[in-house]
Structure 1
Amino acid sequence: MNRALSQRATPYWLTGPALLVFLGLVVIPLAMTVLLSFYDWGQYKGIVPEFTLKNFHEIFTDSYFFEIFLRTFRIAILVTLATMLIGVPEAYILNRMAPAWRSAFLLVVIGPLLVSVVARTLGWALLLGSTGLVNQGLIGLGLIKEPLAFMFTETGVIVVLVHVLIPFMILAVWASLQRLDPQIENAALSLGASRITIWRRVILPQIVPGMLSGAIIVFSLAASAFASPAIIGGRRLKVAATLAYDEFLNTLNWPLGAAVAVLLLAALVAITVGSNRLIERRYAQVFE
């Protein structure tokens, strides 16, 4: 009897430490942030622990907050589409490489993830500035006469985020390609199918789940990114993450900053859950 109880308790003892860490580092801080978002705040009275919907009412009724959230998700969508357009062909080429070359280029792909986000973004700030290498190179080639505005614009933020997040898309699609038998392409070629038909009818349906998985990761990270929008976008181009930061540390309106963070989190969770259901449905169709 005691031995049976001990065997039943073993999984709980093994998962208990990880559960405590998860509760202490994720669940409790999130719960405190949600609770803080319902508190009142005044310039002279500070944070007042009284239940109120004032913060959410201010966010939903002020066009300033709507514009920032709209910009946040617009940037996230454009970054996701750009990583798809670049990452899917790159993952396919990576999958077709010889093992020796594949290892070398895989290191190149994940290279951006090995560099500090601040150092990486500051490097891009030097490249995209009016006197940076990109503008000076375009002027030297005669393609433009005046420097293009990359700094403090959505274009600059999108460029930097695509560079940072494209490894997630490439790795997700590459993982799907690993399950694809190369002989299927050869069989389609022997039956007279063109390269375009093979890509559309054979390869693409197999990698759609990987594309959707990568899109979820890229979209979530782009929408919640802070360092790149803060450095490249500056104070003139705020997104939800930099807005919450300003409310916490500049205006000291912690409840309003918490409300912004909670709404951003709720939106990302809803998008992620909906996308996961779409991916599961797609997997079911592929493997039926």
Structure 2
Amino acid sequence: MDSTLPATPATGERAARAPWQAFMPLWLMSAPALILFATLVLVPLAMTFALTFYRFDPASGPIAALDFHNYAEVLGSSYFHTIFLRTFGIAFLTTVLCVAIGTPEAYVLSRMRDPWRALFLLVILAPLLVSVVVRAFGWSMLLNTNGLVNQAFALFGLGPYKLEYTTFAIVIALVHVMVPFMVIPVWTALQRLDPQTENAALSLMASPATTLRRIVLPQLVPGILSGSLMVFGLSASAFAIPGLLGGRRLKVAATAVYDQFLSSMNWPLGATIAMLLLVANLVVMLTYYRVLERRYARSMG
């Protein structure tokens, strides 16, 4: 009797594996990516966090110390309270408008056929192809006192209105930039939706509105959730648009950090504002995610 047994799939797979793979742990194989992530993200973040405990001397600059004065100044000042409330108010309003605009856009886009779908997708993604500074200057030209918007109002005997350097200008420009970040996740969620489900609901005498509300919308919640998280996070940390369309008077957290680093040269205070913005942003986004995830789980049974 031949004692040689045929190789099983497991032994064949083990033999086909390179010898160095059998001795190298998985964490060691991922070490280059981990080192790159730590170098580009974790190390600068840790250095910024350490800088928040420095003291600032106008004559000599930052002085190494374990001082909580910067946190007390930011958390106890009504000036910084106003800045953070304005920052998150703008981010919240931008997110709501992007959900209201981007979700129907994605639904209409999913119902289109080529080549119209590709054409309108290019139109939706067009803001991402232009520099954010160019977009901000474009909105500045539209919204200033002699801009096209006030000229259109003048045709009806209205205006001129002060639109530039207002919260309205910042929100409008941010919505223009952030809508693609809402459309793409919702459109991706729609691609996984089986059209036969809608047809089945319509064949059972459900109205189109009921089908949209009971069948389509619940399955769009993951896309709306991920898109709104991206829009809120990017809007809360936006710098170029609030800086150019908000002016020196209408400050948000990102422009306050810029002023402390490059105008006042108070790096510890600027680092403190940046770290508090990061923490507040994470708290808001994680709370929002948990609340909507639980509601979605209950609605889907």
Query: C-alpha offsets along residues 240-261 of structure 1, whole Å, 9 cap, x if unaligned?
Result: 0000000000001000000000
Which one of 199, 205, 211 corresponds to residue 192 of structure 1?
A: 205
Superposition map of 1:162-241 within 5 A: 162-241=175-254
Confirm or deny that 1:54 pairs with 2:69: yes
Superposition map of 1:87-236 within 5 A: 87-140=102-155, 142=156, 145-236=158-249
Secondary structure at 2:158 match in 1: coil
Normalised to the residue count of structure 2, the TM-score between the two structures is 0.89
Q: 1:170, CA displacement in angstroms?
A: 0.6
CA RMSD between the two structures: 1.8
What is the CA–CA distance in structure 2 between the aligned matches of 1:6 and 1:178, rounded to whole Å? 38
Q: Is the 8 A contact 2:218 2:300 kept in 1?
A: no
Query: C-alpha offsets along residues 168-195 of structure 1, whole Å, 9 cap, x if unaligned?
Result: 1011111111111112222222211112
What is the CA–CA distance in structure 1 between the aligned matches of 2:234 and 2:263, rounded to whole Å? 24
Alignment partner, residue 45 of structure 2: 30
Confirm or deny that 1:268 pairs with 2:281: yes
Q: 1:23, CA displacement in angstroms?
A: 0.9
Q: 1:60, CA displacement in angstroms?
A: 1.1
Q: 1:148, CA displacement in angstroms?
A: 2.2
Secondary structure at 1:73 match in 2: helix
Amino acid at match of 2:214: R
Q: Is the 8 A contact 1:206 1:286 kept in 2?
A: no
Q: 1:6, CA displacement in angstroms?
A: 4.0
**Identical amino acids, percent of aligned pairs:** 50
Confirm or deny that 1:42 pairs with 2:36: no
The structure that has the greater radius of gyration is 2
Amino acid at match of 1:77: F
- Aligned length in residues: 284
Q: 1:275, CA displacement in angstroms?
A: 3.5
Which runs of 5 or more structure 1 residues have no equivalent in the other structure? Answer: none
What is the CA–CA distance in structure 1 between the aligned matches of 2:45 and 2:168, rounded to whole Å? 32
Which one of 59, 73, 87 corresponds to residue 72 of structure 1?
A: 87
Confirm or deny that 1:244 pairs with 2:244: no
Confirm or deny that 1:277 pairs with 2:290: yes
What is the CA–CA distance in structure 1 between the aligned matches of 2:149 and 2:195, rounded to whole Å? 39
Q: Which moved more, 1:77-86 or 1:44-53?
A: 44-53
Which runs of 5 or more structure 2 residues have no equivalent in the other structure? Answer: 1-17
Q: 1:234 to 1:197 in 2, by over 3 A?
A: same
